[in-house]
Amino acid sequence: MAPPIEVLILGAGPHALTLAAELCDRDPAWGQRLVAVDPAGCWMNDWNARFDQLEITHLRSPTVHHPHPDPHAISRRRDLQRNDLTPGGYQRPSRRVFDLTVEELIESSGLNDSVIGGRVQDVRSDGDLWVTHLDDGRTLSAEHLVLATNRRRATIPTGVRQTAAIPDVRDVTAGERVVVIGGGLTAVQLADQVLTRDGFPIMVTRRTLVERHFDVDPGWMGPKYLDGFERIADPTERVLTARSARGGGTVPPGDLERLRREVESGRVELHEGNPVERAETTDTGACVHLADGRMIRADRVVAATGSLPSVDDDPIASQLVTASETDVVCDVPVLDDHLRLPGTTVYVTGGLATVQLGPAAGNLAGARRSAKRIAASLCGGTPMIEDPGTSSEVTATRLG
Ligand SMILES: Cc1cc2nc3c(=O)[nH]c(=O)nc-3n(C[C@H](O)[C@H](O)[C@H](O)COP(=O)(O)OP(=O)(O)OC[C@H]3O[C@@H](n4cnc5c(N)ncnc54)[C@H](O)[C@@H]3O)c2cc1C
């Protein structure tokens, strides 16, 4: 077996990259001390695939959120083009400029060759090491693990034939009637994609469409709400608070305005606040029954009804949580302040860190906070102090 790796990151998405870049920013030697393992064999594959699939041109979050350790890495760029930042108070970066920043970050941090291709299938502890088995039969051992796998439970209405949380509608043809279930930005993006292909989108939403710039209120990025969250002692109450802060799907003002215009012009049909009772899908079409008794016939039905972080849906997380006897509430683990499964050298980032980080744990903002905490822990610092989320008063009280 090869010599042990100091830090093995499972997954190579934005959360993994944010941590790797944070470590390299502290000491470039980290580039040789960490390895990420991901089926794609490269950084950011699933993120890119989702953006390609939904044909997203701009991120939903503001310019300060990205994997670079410098929050202003995008806004300070000298090559910004006219469409790279959305107009208005909350500027959101284009995918182009986000991708450029990420590519340069990987290069400048020396992380080009840090991802091994493979899916981790099994993890066992062996003394002070973790021994991981990959799907191609290889074995990697590591002193520390970071779980950045982002396995989630998709909530798909019964009768909708869809396995992934996000459906692919790029094969819609002209004249096709497509029911899109969901009231968030993804549902609106899907309706847009159907329209672009001269199809006819029929949107069905559980509640009245809610306008909001971001999926999480900016107050959750700092002390405004995080101080109160930090004072909640009960882990279950924390998860419920985080979930209610996220609420259901929401749509940014510009996108909602555009959708309303399309509805008025008759190019989109909207059934707002009319939940789906049941859906039936056959090989030739679909039929959707709504709460008010209406029945919609269409060529296909797709759902953008969200997903939740879930230990149960992540075989590796389940295995590690069981072995370490970590408490689980609402399907997420109760980590320590270092974001470790308590008593182990296994760190967790992403939505599974909701008990510690709150509603934005799975977003890019959460990635930065978890990177700061995990890097502090690995480098001998104090994670709570280096986490930019809560105020210093609350952190001091918490640390006693
Ligand atoms: C369409 C869309 C748009 C979004 N836009 C934004 C936005 O603008 N701003 C924002 O803040 N957030 C956004 N988010 C939310 C969030 O930031 C992203 O979902 C982000 O990709 C999460 O990063 P991650 O690293 O946790 O997970 P991922 O990007 O999903 O990466 C996880 C990786 O782990 C790998 N993996 C899984 N299991 C294993 C295993 N057993 N072994 C090895 N590897 C494994 C996967 O293959 C994957 O490559 C968006 C989400 C979606 C769905």
Identity of the residue numbered 76: R
For residue 374, what pLDDT is reported? Answer: 98
| Mean pLDDT calculated for residue range 40-62 | 97
1 has a pLDDT exceeding 80: no
| Mean pLDDT calculated for residue range 214-224 | 94
For residue 262, what pLDDT is reported? Answer: 98
Determine whether the shortest distance from the Cβ of 346 to ligand 1 is under 6 A. Answer: no
- Return d(Cα 183, Cα 178) in angstroms, integer: 15
pLDDT in tens, 221-265: 999 999 999 999 999 999 999 999 999 899 999 999 999 999 999
Confidence class of residue 199 from pLDDT cuts 50, 70 and 90?
very high
User: Rg of the Cα trace of the chain?
Assistant: 22
Determine whether the shortest distance from the Cβ of 95 to ligand 1 is under 6 A. Answer: no
pLDDT in tens, 136-154: 999 999 999 999 999 999 9
pLDDT in tens, 87-136: 877 899 999 999 999 999 999 999 999 999 999 999 999 999 999 999 99
Closest CA to 69 of 43, 104, 97: 104
Closest CA to 226 of 56, 59, 388, 397: 388
Same fold for the domain at 5-153+308-399 and the one at 156-210+248-305?
A: yes
Residues facing 202 on adjacent strands: 179, 269
Ordered strands of the 200-204 beta sheet: 269-271, 200-204, 177-181, 300-303
CATH architecture for residues 5-153+308-399: 3-Layer(bba) Sandwich (3.50)
C-beta neighbour count of 238 within 10 angstroms: 23
- Return d(Cα 344, Cα 227) in angstroms, integer: 27
Helices 95-108 and 14-26, axial angle in degrees (round to 10): 40
| Mean pLDDT calculated for residue range 3-25 | 97
171 contact partners, CB below 8 Å, separation of at least 6:
none
**Read out DSSP for 40-86?**
TSSTTHHHHHHHHHHT--B-SS-TT-SSSSSTTTTTT-TT--GGGB-
SS3 category, 15 = helix
| Mean pLDDT calculated for residue range 364-383 | 97
For residue 396, what pLDDT is reported? Answer: 87
Task: Quote the strand ranges of the chain, DSSP E.
Answer: 5-10, 34-38, 115-117, 120-126, 129-134, 139-147, 152-154, 177-181, 200-204, 269-271, 276-281, 286-290, 295-298, 300-303, 307-309, 328-329, 332-333, 346-348
Determine whether the shortest distance from the Cβ of 152 to ligand 1 is under 6 A. Answer: no
Q: To which residue do tokens 């390609």 refer?
A: 52
Determine whether the shortest distance from the Cβ of 146 to ligand 1 is under 6 A. Answer: no
For residue 345, what pLDDT is reported? Answer: 98
pLDDT in tens, 308-364: 999 999 999 999 999 999 999 999 999 999 999 999 999 999 999 999 999 999 999
For residue 87, what pLDDT is reported? Answer: 84
Determine whether the shortest distance from the Cβ of 38 to ligand 1 is under 6 A. Answer: yes
15 contact partners, CB below 8 Å, separation of at least 6:
148, 150, 349, 350, 366, 367, 370, 371
SS3 category, 131 = strand
The proportion of the chain whose per-residue pLDDT surpasses 90, expressed as a percent, equals 92
Q: In angstroms, what is the span from residue 124 Cα to ligand 1's centroid?
A: 25
Question: H or E element: which one contains 319?
Answer: helix 315-324
Q: In angstroms, what is the span from residue 265 Cα to ligand 1's centroid?
A: 36
Determine whether the shortest distance from the Cβ of 11 to ligand 1 is under 6 A. Answer: yes
pLDDT in tens, 275-302: 999 999 988 899 999 999 999 999 999 9
The domain locations on the chain are 5-153+308-399, 156-210+248-305
Query: For residue 156, how far is the Cα from the chain centroid?
Result: 18
163 has a pLDDT exceeding 80: yes
pLDDT in tens, 164-198: 899 999 999 999 999 999 999 999 999 999 999 99
**Read out DSSP for 262-292?**
HHHTTSSEEETT--EEEEEE-SS-EEEEETT
Ordered strands of the 295-298 beta sheet: 276-281, 286-290, 295-298
- Return d(Cα 132, Cα 22) in angstroms, integer: 24
State the average pLDDT for the chain. Answer: 96
**Which fold is adopted by the domain 156-210+248-305?**
FAD/NAD(P)-binding domain (3.50.50)
Determine whether the shortest distance from the Cβ of 363 to ligand 1 is under 6 A. Answer: yes
Ligand 1 atom at shortest distance from the alpha carbon of 186: 1
